[in-house]
Amino acid sequence: MNEVTELTNEKWIREQLVYALNNNDIETFRHEFLDMHTYDQAQFYEELDDMQRSYLYEILSPKEMAGIFENLEIPEEDYQTLLSEMHPTFAADMLSEMYADDAVDVLNELDKEQVASYLTIMDDESAKEIKDLLHYEEYTAGSIMTTEFVAIHAHQTVHSAMQILRKEAPEAETIYYVFVVDEDKKLVGVISLRDLIVADEDTMIHEVMSDRVVSVSVAEDQEEVARTMRDYNFLALPVVDFQHHLLGIITVDDVIDVIDEEASDDYSKLAGISDVDTVDKTPFSAAKKRLPWLVILLFLGMMTASLIGQFEDTLNQVAILAVFIPLIAGMAGNTGTQALAVAVRGLATGEVAEESKWKLIGREAGTGFITGGSCGVLVTLIVYIWQGDIFLGLLVGVSIFVTLIVATLAGSFVPLLMDRLNIDPAVASGPFITTINDLISILIYFGLATMFMSYLQ
């Protein structure tokens, strides 16, 4: 009941905001709108039409709009459209007010000419900060870190450190961890805000800090960063260069975005499409993303049809064999996809380390043996009772037994091989593995049928 009431109140507030905006009631709109959480502001902003958004830019400051842009959940290509609606100076000021890493995420979706234009209009300090981050390769720690953090020196007192913290905290993205550097700006320690508050004012920082600091390289892949953050339950993680200079920090909110992005990317590849996270506006754009995979799978399917054609004589002599083709191919595809999901998940989460990859393959082989044996015995009995032919039942049963073992091994081995070759294992998508296992299962089934044709006749 409380949830229903809350949803009703939210709907009423949004209606009131739209009414105030459409009727030029600026005072009421600003009072109600700015009282909302920035996430709710962003959700409201996404629902507005072009005219309403253009009016919104007139009654909100660049700093107020910055909070909205930092919480938008829109397709990447829409950022260019929204920024083009604003006056260039307003857009540049808004980007300056955003946290540097969030501003970089937006600018990465624009043309180089547009990026250069906005950087030219910005104040020098913000422009330099953003330029430094733009140079880092995408999907690395450097591309998602922020340079808005608080750093203090090891050889200063807690009192002086607190003064620095009070001065710089308003501009920092987080202050729960305060990182400690030496005279060369190398990372030497970390101290929590709680420890800093309870420490005696005259105590030296190096006496109360922890010198066992977990950090990541600026070139580290963002997936590895997310795993480190997860393993240690950090709220922030320092980023260093090869000489251990402190360059920036990565906060937990950015890691959550990375996890969401990587999960969507892997799911897209497993589904055999380019991007499942983006809702396509037209059938043409959706088809353009899916067509390449479908064309590849079409040719693989033609190979399966061609393979069946090679056993035309076998089919002509024992036509009943055709009845069981969908059964064997379907079972191979299903068990291969199951093994694929286990392997890809293990690689994505880091649970499958180098020394345990053979253990995974061995376990999946054992799983295939047990499931294949169980299904093989069951289908042998069913076919024998149905057709009254023990040799036909044995043929189908043995085919399923062998096929499930091979399909399980293929489903686990292919992504491990791709990972070894530095190829995203999620590329071994469900449709791809299914089609490959179709080929394997048909070859096994008709190969055995041809070998034991005399028993079937």
Query: What is the value of pTM for the model shown?
Result: 0.61
Describe the chain by its helix, strand, coil percentages, rounded to 5: 70, 10, 20
**DSSP, residue by residue, 134-156:** HTSPTTBHHHH-BS---EEETTS
Q: What pLDDT was estimated at residue 365?
A: 86
315 near 382, Cβ under 8 Å? Answer: no
For the residues 417-425, what does the mean pLDDT come to?
73
Of 313, 330, 348, residue with least CA distance to 226? 348
SS3 category, 109: coil
Give the separation between CA 448 and CA 331, rounded to whole angstroms: 17
List pLDDT tens digits, range 28-75: 999 989 999 999 999 999 999 989 999 999 999 999 999 999 999 888
Q: How many CB atoms lie within 10 A of CB 35?
A: 10
User: Which band of pLDDT confidence, cut at 50, 70 and 90, is reported for residue 241?
Assistant: very high
Q: Containing H/E element for 2?
A: helix 2-22
Share of the chain above pLDDT 90, in %: 31
21 near 13, Cβ under 8 Å? Answer: no
Identity of the amino acid at 189? G
329 near 444, Cβ under 8 Å? Answer: no
Which strands make up the sheet holding 246-251, listed edge to edge? 216-217, 236-240, 246-251
Q: Which of 224-228, 255-259, 286-290, 403-407 has the lowest mean pLDDT?
A: 286-290
Give the separation between CA 243 and CA 166, rounded to whole angstroms: 29
Q: Containing H/E element for 72?
A: none
SS3 category, 175: coil
Q: How many CB atoms lie within 10 A of CB 10?
A: 14
Domains located in the chain, CATH noted: 2-135 (1.25.60.10), 151-260 (3.10.580.10), 283-456 (1.10.357.20)
Give the separation between CA 54 and CA 61, rounded to whole angstroms: 13
